[in-house]
Structure 1
Amino acid sequence: MQEEPEVVVLRLGHRPGRDERMTTHVGLTARALGADKLVLEDVASGRKETVTDITDRFGGPFEVEVTDEVMGRIRSWDGPIVHLTMYGEPVQKVEDEIRAAHREGALLVVVGAEKIPFEVYEHADFNVGVTNQPHSEIAALAVFLDRLFEGRELDREWEDADQVVVPQEAGKKVVDPDELDNPSEL
């Protein structure tokens, strides 16, 4: 997030025909809740266009990268690695330690799609669960990022947006930022 060391979300795994929406929503959640970058496996490269389109329309900065070496990325990461898994330590018990590690440098957050190789558990500095009950990787990422940023991501300012959502009690309102009389109404 702005003015802090980078947070990179790595989507590990993608089952074509099954995970398109899930992988897209991992990217949109990462972007909306404070991450700086999404790394996708090459098999999920089609999701890059969707997330990039949202970033172009609603503002950034946010970057999407496609690689054929996701495990190599994990092995060579120079900084703390958080693996989100329902089998991990409760987020509320390790969030302070993770925040401290993040202040020292970039953080890699691994979000799986299918069975995760045991090597990921071994490389991770933190195997973190937001609950030990079955849930989605999107929910895990959202809860984790909110805990990491302590809610600051909810007030983030977006650069170069072509569209903004105007909060209101009922209905939907999306406008060009230049149409706003008072930008503080957001």
Structure 2
Amino acid sequence: MQDEPEVAVLRLGHRPGRDERTTTHVGLTARALGADRVVLEDVASGREETVVDITDRFGGPFDVEVTDSPLGTVRGWDGRVVHLTMYGLPVQDVEGEIREAHHDEPLLVVVGAEKVPFEVYERADWNVGVTSQPHSEIAALAVFLDRLFDGRELDREWADADQVVVPQESGKRVEDAREHRRES
């Protein structure tokens, strides 16, 4: 979020034929809930296109990066690392400590797809569990980011949007952003 150190989300791994939507949704969730960028493994090639398209249409800023060395991203990160895993400490027990650290340092949030190498557990400053039950990594990312930003991400302003969703009680309404600004 603006005026804070960066929050990047690393999607570690991608199972072709199985994770197409999941990897895309990790990127979309990262964008919608306050992260500054997502880093996708090169094996997920093509997944970045949807996230870039959504950012182009609905605004940013938000960046998408593709890497052939996701572990290199973890090893070279200049900040703190949060690894989301159901085996980690409960988010409610560590969120304040992580939020405080984020005031001064960038965060890399690691979201695994398959068996996560033990090195990630060791390199992480925090291994964080949203619950200690099997669940979606997308849900874990959403809950974590919401807790990190204390809900402020829900009121975020989006720059350079071509389209804007107009909230309403029922139905769907998307307007041209320029026309929407004129009417507001």
| Shorter-chain TM-score range | over 0.9
Q: Percent identity?
A: 79
2:118 equivalent in structure 1: 118
Alpha-carbon displacement from aligned partner over 1:122-149 (angstroms, at most 9, x marks no partner): 0000000010111000000000000000
Where 1:164 maps in the other structure, the secondary structure is: strand
Taking the aligned partners of 2:35 and 2:48, their CA distance within structure 1 comes to 15
1:107 equivalent in structure 2: 107
Would you identify which runs of 4 or more consecutive aligned residues in structure 1 move more than 3 Å? none
1:166 equivalent in structure 2: 166
Matched, 1:28 2:28: yes
Provide the TM-score with structure 2 as the length reference. Answer: 0.98
Taking the aligned partners of 1:3 and 1:54, their CA distance within structure 2 comes to 23
Taking the aligned partners of 1:3 and 1:174, their CA distance within structure 2 comes to 29
2:65 equivalent in structure 1: 65
Alpha-carbon displacement from aligned partner over 1:90-118 (angstroms, at most 9, x marks no partner): 00000010001111111000000001011
Tell me how large the CA RMSD over aligned residues is: 0.8
Total equivalences in the alignment: 183
2:177 equivalent in structure 1: 177
Taking the aligned partners of 2:90 and 2:174, their CA distance within structure 1 comes to 38
Alpha-carbon displacement from aligned partner over 1:129-186 (angstroms, at most 9, x marks no partner): 0101110000000000000000000000000000000000000000011222554xxx
Taking the aligned partners of 1:84 and 1:115, their CA distance within structure 2 comes to 13
Taking the aligned partners of 2:60 and 2:111, their CA distance within structure 1 comes to 21
Alpha-carbon displacement from aligned partner over 1:36-55 (angstroms, at most 9, x marks no partner): 00001100121111100000
Taking the aligned partners of 2:37 and 2:131, their CA distance within structure 1 comes to 25
